[in-house]
Amino acid sequence: MKANKKKVGFIRRSNKETHVAISLCNLIRRRKGSISDRLSELPNDLLLNILEKVGTLDAIRTCILSKRLQKLPTMLSQIVIDLSPRDLFEMDGVVAEVTDKILSTRSPQITVHKLKLKFFLVPSRCLSIGKSVGLAMVTQKLDAAEFEIMTQKDFSHCTDAHRLLYAKKFNDFVRDCPDAFAGLTRLHLRNMRFGKSDISNILSHCKRLEFLSFFECDEGVRSVLHVEHAQLVELVIIFGKFETVELACLPKLQRMIYRDWQYDDNPLVLGFVPQLSKLSLACPYFSGKTLNLSKLLANAPTVSDLYLEFRSEKIWIQPECSKVLAPVLAKLRFVNLDHLPEECDISWTLFLLEAAPYLEELCITVWDHKCRIESQKSVSKKTDVKWEPSDPHFKQKNLARLTIYGFQSDDNFIGYVRRVIQAAANIREVSLHARKVCPLCFEKFPQAAVRPSSYPRTSEEFGLLREKMTAASATASPIIHFRS
C-alpha cells in the first residue's frame, strides 16, 4: 500500500537489531569457549531479548553451547518457527518436535506473547503440534497463536483432487485438536477445496480468530462464501473460485484484501462491517462488468484507505457522480490506484477526488507490467474511461499529497496534475516518479516492446513543467518533486 504508513500487527524489530542479534549468535556458535562463558554471565532478561530476535530454532542452537543457556528456550515469550518451504522440506519433523519440547517443559507462569508456527499438512505431525498447542492453551498463558499451514504441492501443481484431499486433512486436524483451534488468533490456509459449510464450521471452532488468509481456497466452483465471526479483524482472500464473498456479520473487521476473483457478477458483498477501514481489491478485467463503489460500499461508509489494482488491464471501476458517491466516501483519506494501463487517459480518476471531500493522499501508478500473465494474453482491448465532473470547477480542500509513478511529459499527465492542483486548494506536495522498472520483465519477455519514456531529465525540463502545471492555479503552490 503506502510506504509511509505503519503496518498494523505485531511490532517488528528493526532489521539492524535483528542483524546484530543473528551475528552475535553466529559468533557464539563458532567460538564456543570464552564467548559463550561470558554470555552466560549476562542477565536472563538481556539474553532472552537477544534470543527472541533471531527465531526459535537459532535460539535453541545457540543455547546448546552452555548448561545455563539450555533452560532459556523454555523461557522465551515469543516462539517463532517460520522456515522457507525448502528448509521446511529438509527439516520436516523438527517443527512438531521443537514445539512439543518447548511447550511441555516451560513454566506456566511465563506468558507466551506470540506463538507462530509454519508447518506442512502431514496428519501425524499436525496432530502432535495441535495437541501440544492445545494443552498450552488450557494450561498456560498464551496471548496470540498463529498457524501457517503449507501443502506439499504448491498451487501451480495442485489439481482439484489435491485440493479436496488437503481440505479433508485440515478438517480432520480441526476436529482432532479443538483446544488448539479454539485459542488460535491467526490462520493461513492454501490450496484447499472445502465442502459446503466447511469454512463456517472452521470459523465456529476458531472463536478467538483475528486474522484469516485463504490462498487458492474455495468451497467449489461458483460457490458463495458466507462469513460471520465475532472477533475477526482482517480477512485475506487470493484466487479461489468463489462466485461471491459475502461478509455477512463481522463486527470487528477492519481490513479486507480480495485479489484475483474469477467471476465478475457480484464478487464482494459487504454486509455488517461497521469498523471496516482498509479495503484492497486487485484483479484483471476481462468481462464487460464493472463495479460501482456506491453499491459496493453502501454498507461500509467507514472505509478510509482504498487500494485498487488493475493489473495493467481495462478499468473495472465505474466512475460515478459525486452526489451518488459522496455518502459512502465521507471518511476516505487515502487512495492508491495501481497498475493502470499506460495507453489510457487517467483523468477519470478525478471522480474520487470530487466525491471524497476529506481525501488527503492520492497515489497513482501507471505501468504496463509485462510480468503479469494477463498482460501477455491481450484478452481485452484497453480503452479510455469516459468521465466528466459534475462541476468542472469543483474544489477539494483536504488533499495534501499527489504521487504519480510512471509520469510522462505529455498532455495526459501534465493536464492531470494541473487539474488536481486547480481543484485541491491546499495541496502541499506533488511527487512525480519515472516509470517503474522490473528486471524480470526484460528476462522473461525480451521481445516485448517498451514504450519510449518522455520523463524529464534536466533542471530546465523540470522548471518548464513546474511552470506549466502550476500556472493556472491562483491559490495552491505545492512543492513539485521529480524523482527518477
Q: Which long-range contacts (CB under 8 A, 24 or more apart) does 461-466 make?
A: 461/409, 465/409, 465/414
Cα separation values, 272 from 206, 250, 299, 327, 478, Å: 20, 6, 7, 17, 40
Q: Is the pLDDT of residue 35 over 90?
A: no
Q: Is the pLDDT of residue 183 over 90?
A: yes
Q: Is the pLDDT of residue 244 over 90?
A: yes
Output the pLDDT for position 15.
57
Q: Which three cell numbers stand for residue 79?
A: 516462539
pLDDT band at 68 (very low <50, low <70, confident <90, very high): confident
Burial 219-252 (b: 16+ CB within 10 A, else e): beeebebbbbbebbbbbbbbbbbbbbbbbeebee
Burial 179-212 (b: 16+ CB within 10 A, else e): bbbbbbbbbbbbbbbbeeebbeebbeebebbbbb
Q: Is the pLDDT of residue 245 over 50?
A: yes
Query: What value does the mean pLDDT take over residues 465-481?
Result: 88
Output the pLDDT for position 79.
94
Output the pLDDT for position 1.
39
pLDDT band at 11 (very low <50, low <70, confident <90, very high): very low
Output the pLDDT for position 392.
83
Percent of the chain at pLDDT exceeding 90: 66
Query: What value does the mean pLDDT take over residues 207-222?
Result: 97
Mean pLDDT of the chain: 87
Percent of the chain at pLDDT exceeding 70: 86
pLDDT (tens digit per residue) in 432-458 = 999 988 777 777 776 666 678 999 999
What's the pTM? Answer: 0.89
Output the pLDDT for position 359.
98
Q: How far apart, in whole angstroms, are the C-alpha atoms of residue 481 and residue 484?
A: 10
pLDDT (tens digit per residue) in 370-390 = 675 454 454 445 566 878 877
pLDDT (tens digit per residue) in 113-171 = 999 999 999 999 999 999 999 999 999 999 999 999 999 999 899 999 999 999 999 99
Query: What value does the mean pLDDT take over residues 37-63?
Result: 80
pLDDT band at 44 (very low <50, low <70, confident <90, very high): confident
Q: Is the pLDDT of residue 39 over 70?
A: no
pLDDT band at 25 (very low <50, low <70, confident <90, very high): low
pLDDT band at 10 (very low <50, low <70, confident <90, very high): very low
Identify the sign of the CA torsion 69, 71, 74, 76. negative
Query: Which of 47-56, 177-186, 407-416 shows the lowest mean pLDDT across its residues?
Result: 47-56
- Sorted by sequence, the CB contacts under 8 Å of residue 386 that are 6+ apart come out as 319, 348
Q: Are 121 and 169 in contact (CB under 8 A)?
A: yes
Query: What value does the mean pLDDT take over residues 295-306?
Result: 97
Q: Is the pLDDT of residue 4 over 60?
A: no
Q: Are 266 and 244 in contact (CB under 8 A)?
A: yes
Output the pLDDT for position 375.
45
Q: Is the pLDDT of residue 240 over 70?
A: yes
Output the pLDDT for position 21.
52
Q: How far apart, in whole angstroms, are the C-alpha atoms of residue 184 and residue 95?
A: 17
Output the pLDDT for position 67.
75
pLDDT (tens digit per residue) in 386-419 = 788 778 889 999 999 999 999 999 999 999 999 9
Output the pLDDT for position 70.
83
Query: What value does the mean pLDDT take over residues 331-336?
Result: 98
pLDDT band at 219 (very low <50, low <70, confident <90, very high): very high
Output the pLDDT for position 471.
86
Output the pLDDT for position 14.
47
CA proximity to 456, closest of 446, 471, 467, 440? 467
Output the pLDDT for position 36.
52
Output the pLDDT for position 90.
87
